[in-house]
Amino acid sequence: MITLRGASVHFGARAALDDFSGSFAPGQVTALVGGDGAGKSTLLRVLTGRVAATPAQSGAVTPRTQLGYMPADAGVWNNLSVAQNIAFVARVFAMSPEQTSQRSQLLLARAGLAQVGDREAGKLSGGMRQKLGFVLATLHSPSVVLLDEPTTGVDPVSRGEIWSLIAGAAAEGATVVFATTYLDEAERCDQLFLLDQGRLVTSGTPDEVIAS
């Protein structure tokens, strides 16, 4: 369980996140919903530990080795092949060859990328790059998975496939938090936080938020 109480982040005079409180539970998918400048990315960076909030985060601090983060640009190395991307991330997390093989085969099959291991990542379609980004973020089976607008700008089929990957990570017990501008995706989550200009507007289950 990760809990923030009254978390605020200021860049100069601007409040990128203003008095946010909320909890994120294992095995659940939480959506951060809002437009540009709402504070979604800042909140994700607070959860990664890249940005300090005041007061400090409460609850268990996630070790870096148990954290999976996918930035908005997918976080893939375009000049490397799919297999080389995976090998690089596996080395970063000191995964054994057996672990790497088993985990990558499983994730690539789920993502529909099993047949493109030799293809340069920069030559993949936008949706395929986003799915590869998810594979890289979750290759080491992290307990916390943070995704910054993973489906923005991809085709509807790829959006559905990425959602299946997200749901699969939660089913394995991970705490999954993702930022999105798509309300139809947020409605499929266990809980959502609606943000605007750094402030929390409302939160709860999708039905509770829609009703309010």
Output the pTM of the full model.
0.91
CATH number of 2-211: 3.40.50.300
Instruction: Please state whether 32 falls in left (phi above 0), alpha (psi between -120 and 50) or beta.
Output: beta
Q: What CA dihedral angle connects 158, 160, 161 and 162, to 10 degrees?
A: 90
The pLDDT assigned to 57 comes to 56
Below-70 pLDDT ranges, the chain: 56-61
The pLDDT assigned to 56 comes to 59
Distance CA 144, CA 66 (A): 6
Backbone angles phi, psi at 135, to 5 degrees: -60, -45
Q: Which residues contact 92 (CB under 8 A, 6 or more apart)?
A: none
Distance CA 44, CA 20 (A): 12
Domain residue ranges of the chain, discontinuous segments joined by +: 2-211
Residue type, 60: A
pLDDT tens, 43-101?
999 998 888 888 755 454 577 788 999 998 889 999 999 999 999 999 999 999 999 99
Do residues 75 and 133 make contact, with C-beta atoms less than 8 angstroms apart?
A: yes
Q: Which residues contact 167 (CB under 8 A, 6 or more apart)?
A: 29, 188
Do residues 193 and 32 make contact, with C-beta atoms less than 8 angstroms apart?
A: yes
